[in-house]
Chains A and B, each alone.
Chain A
Amino acid sequence: MAAINRDDVAHLARLAHIEMSAEELDRMAVELAVIVDSVKSVSEAAGEDVPATSHPIPLTNVFREDVVGHTFTAEQALSGAPDAFENRFKVPAILDED
């Protein structure tokens, strides 16, 4: 397993949409390397034949009937919005399409 370096952290920070200063990237790279190193044993713990558990208590087919429930008014929906215009959330220009 590859060690985690500063460039990796910069890439991950971009994916996670968190701006980081050079100093933060350096610090985070060191901290993450320690953590990643300490969790390494996990990948050797279980063999191929062990199934993965994604839910601690297994349930299946939990559904909702297709019946309309409550809705917000536009005012409620936008009550916490940092910026809004004509009952819509307003955001700065988008750099990249889709």
Chain B
Amino acid sequence: MSVDATLSFEEAMEKYDPVLGFEVHVELNTKTKMFSSAPNVFGDEPNTNVNEVDLGMPGVLPVVNKTAVESSIKIGLALNCKIAETCRFARKNYFYPDTPKNFQTSQYDEPIAYDGYLDIELEDGTVFRVEIERAHMEEDAGKLTHMGGAAGRIQGADYSLVDYNRSGVPLVEIVTKPIEGAGSRAPELAKAYVAAVREIVKNLGVSDAKMERGNVRCDANVSLRPHGRERFGIRSETKNVNSLRAVEHAVRYEIQRHAAVLDSGEPVIQETRHWHEDTRSTTSGRPKSDADDYRYFPEPDLVPVVASREWVEELRATLPEPPAERRKRLKEAWGYSDLEFRDVVNAGVMDSIEETIAAGASADVARKWWMGEIVGRAKVADVDPSELGVTPQVIVELNKLVEDGKINNKMATQVLDGVLAGEGTPAEIVEKRGLAVVSDDGPLLEAIDAALAAQPDVAEKIRGGKVQAIGAIVGGVMKATRGQADAGRVRELILEKLGVEG
């Protein structure tokens, strides 16, 4: 495999203007397939989630899954698309062993949704509008495993094995119009666009949206043109770029590769490229040719889908708040700074914080626990923070124990560990581990006297009204009691002793 020449990204950007385009395939999480009643389930034993329809047996006929149509309309609405009054399915004819009928039932010139847009917010807050050409319904193919040859690659394989469990899983393909004007932010926009689509379909509840499982798959089209030229350059289509990071890297790589080709005076070849995560580069697939004559024609075994305006409005009424609007609303409600809120979003705990607040915690308490304690533990455990096993009720309970002076913050983290270890509720763990703060004031007063004696200048400042200096004395007491004291109670006793109002 020859290595393609590339230009540095900066040089490529100096000379050329990138134009992007995306085809994102979203697998719907319906209970059954698009055209058969076989279950739509990931990861079962090969060729068990199939019936005669999914295997394309002689004599079979498709029947459309109503829920899949409704999910497709919801996606169209969430992408600000128009919903076609009437649309049809069409056959896309091509031979491939993962395609049991040797045609894919898809939509051609009559997609269910068209002419939409999505406003994409980049990291720095810049908003970029991506126009959506269409979203159409189709079916997924089976899964090929290449055996022999190098590491599951198709090249050099001796034979392939086909599992049709995925065959017929409902897909919605979302196609953008050409995206112009992104400039050097093209790779970042690519990642943000795919992330936004993923977030939308997840938020709608119509897809599991797990990229690592192929629920959301992206083909990225890239072309370059010299600055100032209107006409688009020749594009490449990089297939199956299946993580957000890979989308960014693949677009960046293709820009650099195209720039080198154009610099050399050669034309870019219109072709399919394959993304390789290991080398972070693409290799040539096959050139577009007359073999791409898909001979589309209206699917004679299916009848048109008519989306009445009543039906569309009924579905629109069920749509959840769009993710971008929701973020804006929550940020304001919680009073977090830009930085705080971005950290929360990036850490993936926005939903958890919302639930925790709903359970009775304040916005600051919820953030303190999720960002300060849980995210770090989740990282160590290599799971999503929401999957670590901490419920909003646990946090509310922990916080109440602290506020009531039953335990201090340091103890609370130990209680949290106890909860995660399955030792019981926070109250039970406090009991079992004997974590109550020292409640007899006698030993505390002794420690306070000692601390005040050790730092007479600080004591003087507090007496003079500089109450904020009290931290040094509290610290001394806590040190002396090895953290067993309730810091709040210590503070009260110090102020009392010095005759100062808190």
Q: How far is the CA of A98 from the CA of B146 in the complex (A)?
A: 13
The 8 closest A-B pairs by CB, nearest first: A69-B37, A63-B66, A66-B67, A88-B161, A89-B162, A77-B47, A59-B303, A64-B63
Q: Is A86 an interface residue (CB 8 A)?
A: yes
Interface residues contributed by chain B, number (CB under 8 Å)? 57
A66 and B30 form a contact (CB under 8 A): yes
Asked if residues B69 and A63 are in contact (CB atoms below 8 Å), the reply is yes
What's the minimum C-beta distance from A10 to chain B, rounded to whole angstroms? Answer: 12
B65 interface residue per 8 A CB criterion: yes
Contact call A65/B66, Cβ cutoff below 8 A: yes
Given that A68-B38, A71-B51 are contacting pairs, would A90 and B161 also be in contact in the complex, using a CB cutoff of 8 Å? yes
Chain A residues near B291 (CB, 8 Å)?
A: 14-15
Determine the residue in chain A with the shortest Cβ distance to B143: A88
For residue B286, CB closer than 8 A to chain A, the reply is yes
Interface assignment of A41: CB less than 8 Å from any CB of chain B: no
Are A71's CB and B49's CB within 8 A? yes
Interface assignment of A78: CB less than 8 Å from any CB of chain B: yes
Kindly report which residue of chain A lies nearest to residue B57, judged by CB atoms: A80
A-side residues, CB < 8 A to B, are 11, 14-15, 17, 54-55, 58-74, 77-78, 85-94, 96-98
B48 in the interface, Cβ–Cβ < 8 Å?
yes
Which of B151-159, B356-364, B392-400 is the contact stretch? B151-159
A93 to B298, CA, bound (A): 32
**B51 and A55 within 8 A (CB):** no
Chain B: residues with CB nearer than 8 A to chain A?
Answer: 30-32, 36-39, 45-52, 55, 63-69, 86, 88, 95-97, 102, 144-146, 154, 157-164, 239, 272, 274, 285-286, 290-291, 293, 295, 298, 300, 302-306
Which of these, A58, A73, A93, A98, contacts B160 with CB under 8 Å? A93
Taking a contact as CB atoms under 8 Å apart, the answer to whether B63 and A62 are in contact is yes
**Cα of A17 to Cα of B298 in the assembled complex, Å:** 22
* Alpha-carbon separation in the docked complex, A6 to B45 (Å): 47
Residues of A within 8 A of B272 (CB): 97-98
**Among B50, B86, B146, B163, contact of A71 (Cβ-Cβ < 8 Å):** B50
Contact of A66 among B31, B146, B164, B274 (CB under 8 A): B31
Q: Tell me, rounded to whole Å, the shortest Cβ–Cβ distance linking B496 to chain A.
A: 68
- Report the bound CA distance from A63 to B64 in whole Å: 5
| B31–A77 CB distance below 8 A | no
- A residues less than 8 Å from B145 (CB atoms): 88
Q: What residues of A have a CB within 8 angstroms of the CB of B86 in the complex? A: 60
Distance in angstroms from A9 CB to nearest chain B CB is 14
- Knowing that A87-B46, A88-B46 are A-B contacts, what are 14 other residue pairs whose CB atoms are under 8 Å apart, sorted by A's residue number? A15-B291, A59-B303, A60-B304, A63-B66, A64-B64, A69-B38, A71-B38, A71-B39, A72-B52, A77-B55, A78-B47, A87-B45, A89-B162, A91-B159
